[in-house]
A and B are shown apart, each in its own frame.
Chain A
Amino acid sequence: MGCSKVRLTKRARLAMDLVAEILENGLQEQGKFKTITVEKHLELDYDLGSLLCVDNNELDSGLFNKNKDEYLRNLTRDNVQLLINQIWDLPTEKVDEVIVAKLPRPAYVLPRAKHVPKPKPLTKWQEYAKLKGIQKKKKSKLSWDEQLKKWIPLYGYKRAEALRNKEWLIEVPQNANPMEDQFAKRTDAKTERVAKNELQRLRNIAKTKNIKVPRMGVLNPDVSTAKDLQAAVTIAKSSTASIGKFQGSLPKEKEARGIATITPGASSRKRKAAPVSSEVEKAENLQAIDFVLNKKPKIDVERAVNKQINQQQLRKPEESMSSKPKAGGKGKKKGNSSSSSKKPKSGKGQRKGKNSGRKRR
């Protein structure tokens, strides 16, 4: 028994030691870690969605002044501890052997880091469309083509090919020069449109950035040449109400070339048709006459109606002429009917009763 008792006590002692050790460790640990319960005068405001808490308590100015860093670090730790405590209260989930807390939706509205972007300025067309109330129509990307029996994209891949297949033949319009290549004309027109659109795009950009783009003349004074300056002078001179008619000119001053399109009527240098032989001129004149005479006449409704009325009027008198004798015959048959408009004259009617004798009064 004694033996076993000793044994027991040995065991007990071992266990005691272990407990003591653990307790000692615990005490040590307790000294190392601070408590999870934090006392606060005022409750903190939590926004767990954005992992935010706001401490509205007053700072302890005494401690703060003594050791600022230490005080702030402690305060932060306490507050973070409170936040963590709140998070532990949230419902949890197990995802891949890891415990995860489900955060509610954030309630606090964070201010923007950057300012709100301004709305894009409207392009010239958009402005116009807005003014006029023009709304963009949604076009479908594909449209059915009756001729090709195929769906044709509005733009992009296979569009050009489809058009090529569709319009392999162009009718030469009336008055057009038969030798002119209508396909080349069409492609020219297309490139022209594209270029125009590009120009308008650039102009819109310039407008939004508030850059002034001169139509012509001195574009950049640093790099402008004598030619540019001359053009600028010519344009400036012609920019009066009387198209520069009364503007004086310096001796030996020359007009700039190639700006006639934007300064119509300004140039004193009028284009003269080159002298040609009279035969050629006659041919040219005849061509011009043909052009004028071959012009497709517009359908003039009024004129057509007038013509119709005129024809009807011409027809009517003929009809009435042919029907007149008939009417006359009828009238004769009837004799002095009540419908005749003539007044009966005296002395022509037949008398009833006595024709002669003395008058009785």
Chain B
Amino acid sequence: MKRLSEERTKILFEKLSKYIGANVKLLIERPDGLYCFREQKDRVYYMSEKIFKLASTLPPTQLVSAGTCFGKFTKTNKFRLHITALAYLAPYAQCKIWLKPSAEQQFLYGNHVAKSGLGRISENAEKYSGVLVYNMADLPLGFGVCARSMSECKLSDPLATICFHQADIGEYIRSEDDLL
């Protein structure tokens, strides 16, 4: 477990701010103690200082995971969020879409969201902005990227893609091995 380099820290925060904007600060400035990001085999983990101190007693080769995995750095040094980060992103989400019950399953199988499945969309949805996906009962299902802005959505045809799929909670079953 090591600290993220300055460059990677910036890349990580840039990615997170796409989904939760200025609320990134709240991940670091928490009333319940100190929290930090750590890197292990290009994966980024978010954990409290207490857990970090426990984890640092283990040799890094033996350690599989500690805290919550937020995502991983690709070989080209881009950050990719994993579904495991959803629990931390959902409460701070700035841009949301809600799915109709009929479209929920489609999304959970890893498909993009079409206009026909769109229940609601928050007003500040811009094109290519990060978006959190909920079902009508306000349960977070995953996240993606807006393919169209809110105003464009109104005019688009029912089969047009509104949101590109990035991660969904179906991955907990589908790609159990890859998730950490």
Residues of A participating in the B interface, judged by any CB pair closer than 8 Å: 271-273, 275-276, 278-279, 281-282, 284-286, 288-289, 291-293, 302-303, 306-307, 309-310, 313
Contact = CB atoms under 8 A, between A and B. Distances in A.
Contacts of B24: 289, 292-293
B40 interface: no
Contacts of B9: 284-285, 288
Contacts of A306: 126-127, 149, 151-152
Interface in B96-128: 123, 126-127
A289 B126 contact: no
A242 B159 CA distance: 44
Given A285-B28, A293-B22, A272 B2 contact: yes
A273 B4 contact: yes
Contact size class for B?
A: 20 to 34
A278 B49 contact: yes
A347 B19 CA distance: 65
B13 A292 contact: yes
B5 A273 contact: yes
B6 to A, nearest CB: 7
A285 B5 CA distance: 11
Contacts of A271: 5
Interface in B1-58: 2-6, 9-10, 13-14, 17, 21-22, 24-25, 28-29, 34, 36-37, 49
Interface in B130-173: 149-152, 154
A260 to B, nearest CB: 13
21 contacts: A272-B2, A273-B6, A275-B3, A276-B3, A278-B34, A278-B36, A284-B9, A286-B25, A286-B28, A288-B13, A289-B13, A292-B10, A292-B17, A293-B17, A293-B21, A302-B127, A303-B126, A303-B149, A306-B126, A306-B127, A309-B151
Contacts of A307: 151
Interface of B: 2-6, 9-10, 13-14, 17, 21-22, 24-25, 28-29, 34, 36-37, 49, 123, 126-127, 149-152, 154
Contacts of B17: 289, 292-293
Nearest to B34: A278
A324 B152 CA distance: 26
Contacts of B22: 293
A310 B28 CA distance: 35
Contacts of B14: 292
A134 B22 CA distance: 47
